[in-house]
Structure 1
Amino acid sequence: MRLFRNSGIIGIAESALTFALEASRDSHPNEYMGLLRGEDARKLGLEESGTVLTDVLIIPGTESNPVSATVKTSMVPNDMRAAGSVHSHPNGVLRPSDADLATFTKGDVHIIVGAPYERDDWQAFDREGEPIDLPVLDVDPPEEEFFDFTQEDIDRELLPSEEDDRGGWLF
């Protein structure tokens, strides 16, 4: 079951687009490749239902050169918020190649960013490679808290609390 199929993608956060443009510029003359994740629009304070693209994931082990970028599929996280892909075309062409179309089968939106990687140098596509309008939204993506714990939480995990029936410790 796909998380975003019912409500649709309604836009991309300005910060996600800016990141994709900057990452593409930094990768030039090689292609850049990343995956897109989204967040429920209501969680971002919007009153309409749907998904806003909020994050660009960098996949470890991605290999790129001036004409292609390859993601190691074994490194792609199994992420319920996965929504599509973004990659650059150092030649500036904002149309998907046949190779691009072959990768568009997963996800609902695919973005191509072209040199010189300025604010208007991108285009979104559906999975068939047809251009789509994707509004840029001024929203603040939620902060991910990877380290959402305290020293007390660590101590509680490390220190035994009571002995169990087998002579071991329960945590």
Structure 2
Amino acid sequence: MVYVTRGLVDVLLGLAEDAEPKPLDVTLSTTPAKEFDTDLGVDGETPILTHFDLPEAGWPVSAVFGMDIGTPAGQGRARFISHPQGRLEVSERDHMAAVMVVAVPPWDEQSYAAFDRAGRRVDLVVLDAEPPQESLA
């Protein structure tokens, strides 16, 4: 089972719609359930998809050395991928991750789903919860 916040889903679907007809591929980050101010009804160590990393972050180094420095260490086990002209499934062209959230037009509640690395659909639970506030020290 994969958990994601409503806010993240809304932002990602909006970005996918804005990027159309180009596909969107972004790395997703998690926050442990215990860090939320609200009881989510899941184990405290359960990862909740809450954030995304901009695809352009670290691009120059990635292009030269093939390393992804735009993704913080320990994050990036999930990806959001849009298929503007595709089907709601994982394709051979997608960057694989442990969890992939795939979306297709019309970018609404019925147009996205989660899949594992093998392309099998997994349960995706959308939580109406705000992740904890973060600040830079």
TM-score of the superposition, structure 2-length normalised? 0.82
Query: Unpaired runs of 5+ in structure 2?
Result: none
1:42 maps to what in 2? Answer: 34
How big is the shift at 1:10?
A: 4.1
CA distance in structure 1 between the aligned counterparts of 2:42 and 2:53, rounded to whole angstroms:
25
1:23 maps to what in 2? Answer: 15
Distance 1:62 1:74, change over 3 A: closer
How big is the shift at 1:62?
A: 9.2
CA distance in structure 2 between the aligned counterparts of 1:10 and 1:30, rounded to whole angstroms:
26
2:70 aligned with 1:76, yes or no?
Answer: yes
Between the two structures, name the one with larger relative contact order (CA 8 Å, sep ≥ 6): 2
1:91 maps to what in 2? Answer: 85
Distance 1:142 1:109, change over 3 A: same
1:53 maps to what in 2? Answer: 49
Quick one: which amino acid aligns to residue 124 of structure 2? Answer: L
CA distance in structure 1 between the aligned counterparts of 2:132 and 2:111, rounded to whole angstroms:
26
How big is the shift at 1:78?
A: 3.5
The one-character-per-residue Cα deviations of 1:10-51 (angstroms, maximum 9, x if unpaired) are: 410001111110000110111111111111112113242211
CA distance in structure 1 between the aligned counterparts of 2:41 and 2:15, rounded to whole angstroms:
31
Distance 1:81 1:142, change over 3 A: farther
Distance 1:144 1:114, change over 3 A: same
Question: Percent of aligned pairs with the same residue?
Answer: 23
SS at the partner of 2:79? strand
SS at the partner of 1:135? strand
Larger Rg: 1
CA distance in structure 2 between the aligned counterparts of 1:47 and 1:121, rounded to whole angstroms:
26
Query: Unpaired runs of 5+ in structure 1?
Result: 1-8, 64-70, 149-171
SS at the partner of 1:21? helix
How big is the shift at 1:113?
A: 0.8
2:111 maps to what in 1? Answer: 121
How big is the shift at 1:92?
A: 4.4
Root mean square deviation of aligned Cα: 2.2
CA distance in structure 2 between the aligned counterparts of 1:131 and 1:79, rounded to whole angstroms:
27
